[in-house]
């Protein structure tokens, strides 16, 4: 649960105000022009969004670099099962155009939008259309006069404060704020400073966090302490990797912070010289399917009988190597012994039986 901030509505998703922490990712490629609602690339994109939603993605953001992007995002928003957000830099007219469509939130980077009157036009239309806005401050694109500040966390907070004040002057408070840097410690400090002063919901993330492993480590270091203290209404784990990885990493970070979410928790062994069952290959085949389950379920995938039966017994369903066989456990009891080559089939049958 996030700290008691004001609540901001992003389509059907509530951010802040004690609502569950939502997980976001960002679309990784430009949207092409769609010819109409039946355009095959629109249908394929909508399918991909449904897959991300099944993995636990609550909100999805798209860069909107031009008018084609705005129109395509608008068409996709009408077909999406989750709220879509437009990410606008430089051209405020694109934000105005996006608000002609059912787009749930607009992220603006005021440092890149420029003149105050342009931001005011965006705010006026957002107010009129009931669309929320995110003030997305990024250490890489601070307003010019703040760029020289040595303390980047303080510079980001100063930039956010300036924008919040301007939005409040315009009578607009349906605002989520983010302050992103690529140093985890700076992200943590900036968000703590802001949360101590304001009650706007915070969108947390480490920007340009790096490749998969470094990116997950940096985001975990910054986000878990904040979330544990109730700071943060929504998160995006930015990775030089797939959207699926970002969503699953987001789920795991939220779980590490002790925030319970329905879904699957996988326990698996790293493998060593004792293994008789290739857990890595099994996970590569199964993790997408397991993470897409709606059920709250602990799954253990273990390589041998040293720790395998112990872990598998504690899970709702477990599979462990045992020589030329695998043992499958359901709720602590051995349910099945199957030859290695039939492991997938046996596991699938037992899982189906368990889930009824």
Q: Is 17 exposed, middle or buried (0-12, 13-18, 19+ CB in 10 A)?
A: middle
Contacts of 193 (CB under 8 A, 6+ apart): 153, 154, 157
- Which letter does DSSP use for residue 20 in this model? P
Closest to ligand SF4 by CB, 310 or 332: 310
Binding string, 140-159, against ligand SF4, x = CB under 6 A? Answer: --------------------
Interface positions, 204-243, toward ligand SF4 (CB under 6 A)? none
Cβ–Cβ under 8 Å, residues 235 and 223? yes
Minimum gap (Å) between residue 269 Cβ and ligand SF4: 3
Neighbours of 48 (CB within 10 A): 14
Closest to ligand SF4 by CB, 238 or 287: 287
Phi, psi at 19, each rounded to 5°: -70, 155
Minimum gap (Å) between residue 299 Cβ and ligand SF4: 15
Closest to ligand SF4 by CB, 192 or 271: 271
110 in contact with ligand SF4 (CB under 6 A): no
Minimum gap (Å) between residue 273 Cβ and ligand SF4: 7
Interface positions, 264-323, toward ligand SF4 (CB under 6 A)? 269-272, 274-275, 302-304, 306-308
CA–CA gap between residue 194 and residue 199 (Å, rounded)? 9
Minimum gap (Å) between residue 159 Cβ and ligand SF4: 47
Closest to ligand SF4 by CB, 83 or 303: 303
Q: How many angstroms separate the first and last alpha carbons of the chain?
A: 31
Closest to ligand SF4 by CB, 54 or 267: 267
Minimum gap (Å) between residue 280 Cβ and ligand SF4: 10
How many residues belong to the chain?
A: 356
Closest to ligand SF4 by CB, 26 or 305: 305
Minimum gap (Å) between residue 321 Cβ and ligand SF4: 7
Candidates 128, 126, 130, 146; CA nearest to 138 is: 146
Q: Is 46 exposed, middle or buried (0-12, 13-18, 19+ CB in 10 A)?
A: middle
* Count of residues that bind ligand SF4 according to CB under 6 A: 12
Q: Which chain residues interact with ligand SF4 by CB under 6 A?
A: 269-272, 274-275, 302-304, 306-308
């Amino acid at each position: 649960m996030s700290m008691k901030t004001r609540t901001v509505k992003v389509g059907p998703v509530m951010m802040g105000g004690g609502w569950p922490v939502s997980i976001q990712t960002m679309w990784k490629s430009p949207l092409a022009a769609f010819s109409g609602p039946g355009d095959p690339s629109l249908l394929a994109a909508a399918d991909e969004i449904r897959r991300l939603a099944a993995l636990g993605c609550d909100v999805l953001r798209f860069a909107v670099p031009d008018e084609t992007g705005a129109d395509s995002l608008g068409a996709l928003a009408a077909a999406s099962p989750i709220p879509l957000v437009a990410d606008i830099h430089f051209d405020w007219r694109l934000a105005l155009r996006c608000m002609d469509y059912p787009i749930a939130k607009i992220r603006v980077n005021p440092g890149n939008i420029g003149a105050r009157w342009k931001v005011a036009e965006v705010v006026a239309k957002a107010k009129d259309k009931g669309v929320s806005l995110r003030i997305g401050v990024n250490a890489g694109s601070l307003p010019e006069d703040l760029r020289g500040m040595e303390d980047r966390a303080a510079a980001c907070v100063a930039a956010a404060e300036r924008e919040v004040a301007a939005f409040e002057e315009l009578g607009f408070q349906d605002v989520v704020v983010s302050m992103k840097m690529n140093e985890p410690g700076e992200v943590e400090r900036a968000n703590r400073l802001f949360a101590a002063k304001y009650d706007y919901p915070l969108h947390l993330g480490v920007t340009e966090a790096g490749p998969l492993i470094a990116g997950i480590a940096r985001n975990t270091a910054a986000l878990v302490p904040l979330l544990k203290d109730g700071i943060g209404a929504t998160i995006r784990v930015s990775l030089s990797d797939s959207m699926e990885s970002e969503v699953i990493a987001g789920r795991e970070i939220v779980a590490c912070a002790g925030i319970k979410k329905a879904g699957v928790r996988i326990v698996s062994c790293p493998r060593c010289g004792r293994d008789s069952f290739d857990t890595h290959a099994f996970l590569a085949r199964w993790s997408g399917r397991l993470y897409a389950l709606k059920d709250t379920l602990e799954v253990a995938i273990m390589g041998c009988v040293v720790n395998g039966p112990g872990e598998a017994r504690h899970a709702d369903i477990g599979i462990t190597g045992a020589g030329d066989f695998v043992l499958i456990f359901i709720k602590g009891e051995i349910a099945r012994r199957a030859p290695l080559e039939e492991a997938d089939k046996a596991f699938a049958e037992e899982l189906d039986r368990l889930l009824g």
